[in-house]
Structure 1
Amino acid sequence: MNSISVRALLVRGMLAGLVAGAFALVVAYFLGESRVDAAIALEESHAHDHGGGEELVSRTMQSTGGLATGVLVFGVAVGGIAALVFCYALGRMGRFGPRATAALIAGAALLTVYIVPFLKYPANPPAVGDPDTIGRRTALFFLMVALSVLLAVGAVILGRRLAPRLGNWNATVAGAAGYVLVTGIAYAFLPSFDEVGKDFPATLLWEFRLATLAVQITLWTVFGLVFGHLTERLLVPRPARGAAAGGRANRPAGVAG
């Protein structure tokens, strides 16, 4: 793939990430912000009891401009990274076209970058967690992300090496099983944190966590669909895209499709 194509795909990946970020922003605002407000209200009630600090950034700014900036910048960044991964993966994942490759990359990113680390270190709303451990918890979460991505790459390499001997299906199953096994070992050995107070509503906690999960699912689903469409238009010649439809339209009446 030449440099012009890589640059064009990178631009399209960032554009798709921006669109996906806009959809994720809507989900985050309508599903997540009310839960954040409820958690902040609980936090402030305890802060008044124990003497809380002054707010540096207004809640209004956090829930509008701050949220929009964070989600949109994140969408553009991961869109660009996913586009570079797409450049390498296209043609190396079997007979998948641009749309299918984009969908597979988006699904793999959702699984490895968010869902697997989320299951070990789920997101917590304000008022949950010890402030003294936030640095350690953040570091461990990103360590889990790195491990998940590296293990996924290793599973793909293992599957490709086993394919000539076991066949594609068995090799894929073996690679996936290896990924699950080593991830489970990482889950067992990495430290866990149980810092949810007994007075924090369990329903609010899970609604917040499900909202964060919905944001990521929306982001990667929209990215996969938009980026797949853009790459199809870029990489597949127009006559090839319309060949199936044109051939179907030119068939005599009564010929089965």
Structure 2
Amino acid sequence: MVRALLVRGLVAGAVAGLFAALFAWAVAEPAVDAAIGYEAAKEAAAGSAGAPEVVPRALQKTLGLATATTVYGAAIGGLFALAFALSWRRLLGGGPGRAALSLAAIAFVVVFLVPFLKYPANPPAVGDPASIDRRTALFVTMIWISIAASVAAVRAAQAVRRRWQHALSPAGGRLLAALGYAAIVAAAALALPAIRELPRDFPATTLWSFRIGSVGTQAVLWAVLGAAFAEAAERLLAGRSLWFGSVAARTGRAGVAADTSRSGGGP
């Protein structure tokens, strides 16, 4: 069962990555182009030549973007499938489709949105290249803190419910877990250092267009992943094949029937 869920998670993630690439190309990439133009203008004004392009920009924002988001989506989909297999009956409950959608929404908030609020993304052409490693390390640290906080908050809420089962409803337990999670990540966000490296004259509209595009790309990724995996999990646990498997099976049966009818009158 876990293997079947994993395969479906990989496929759903790859599909979600393609949809995310389309959104990023339409919404975020124009802001990236504007940021690159800003940096190029600054370098020209300073009399310095920019670094030559190793990969043409037109290829980066089309085939490169689609490849990167598809591979990333497949990896996220595999991890999502494993998380679903571990948490469905223990924590999420309900039908597999509803549980998958709930898990996708929770993962979007925990894995992306909360860390993003602390360390929002900047256009790749802007900022100090020497600080990339530090920014990446802090962002990944915030992701792990957010994940650990969600697990700790859920377990603490479960322990409280077991102890005071008659005083705390399931909805109260979920609220308690959410409040505990919020308290932990808020404390972590205050403790971790801030990063401010954008030039003062950088266009605010370009910055916010890029950040909105980043949030939207992740929202599309997790929404499509949740919906596709929900459908796949429902079909798997109901003993039905995926829709393209059903189409292939019907096509195969139609082909066999046609061959049989053609050969039926022969010797």
Q: Same fold (TM over 0.5)?
A: yes
Partner of 2:129: 131
* Residue 15 in structure 1 maps to residue 19 in structure 2: no
State how 1:152-231 maps to structure 2 within 5 Å.
Answer: 152-164=150-162, 165=164, 166-231=168-233
State how 1:83-94 maps to structure 2 within 5 Å.
Answer: 83-93=81-91
Partner of 2:43: 47
Moved beyond 3 Å, runs of 4+: none
Secondary structure at the counterpart of residue 90 of structure 2: coil
Task: Verify the 8 A CA contact 2:32 2:125 in the aligned structure 1.
Answer: no
The more displaced of 121-130 and 196-205 is 121-130
Distance 2:236 2:171 in 1: 31
Letter of the 1:196 partner, please give it: L
Partner of 2:235: 233
- The structural deviation recorded for 1:160 is 1.4
Task: Verify the 8 A CA contact 1:124 1:209 in the aligned structure 2.
Answer: yes
- The CA RMSD measured in Å over matched residues stands at 1.3
- The structural deviation recorded for 1:132 is 2.0
Measured against aligned partners, the alpha-carbon deviations of 1:191-213 in whole angstroms (never above 9, x if no partner) come to: 00111212111011001100010
- The structural deviation recorded for 1:141 is 0.4
Partner of 1:26: 22
TM-score between both structures, scaled by the size of structure 2? 0.84
Distance 2:238 2:62 in 1: 39
Task: Verify the 8 A CA contact 2:92 2:99 in the aligned structure 1.
Answer: no
Distance 2:178 2:92 in 1: 17
- The structural deviation recorded for 1:153 is 0.9
Identity %, equivalent residues: 44
Distance 1:12 1:66 in 2: 24
Distance 2:146 2:158 in 1: 18
State how 1:71-90 maps to structure 2 within 5 Å.
Answer: 71-90=69-88
Distance 1:207 1:104 in 2: 28
Larger gyration radius, structure 1 or structure 2: 2
Letter of the 1:91 partner, please give it: R
TM-score between both structures, scaled by the size of structure 1? 0.87
Size of the aligned set, in residue pairs, is 234
Q: 1:191 to 1:31 in 2, by over 3 A?
A: same
Distance 2:89 2:220 in 1: 27
Measured against aligned partners, the alpha-carbon deviations of 1:44-89 in whole angstroms (never above 9, x if no partner) come to: 1112233122222211121112111110000000000000011111
Task: Verify the 8 A CA contact 1:89 1:101 in the aligned structure 2.
Answer: no
Partner of 1:246: none
Unmatched 5+ stretches in structure 2: 241-267
Secondary structure at the counterpart of residue 89 of structure 2: coil
- The structural deviation recorded for 1:126 is 3.4
Letter of the 1:134 partner, please give it: I
- The structural deviation recorded for 1:237 is 4.6
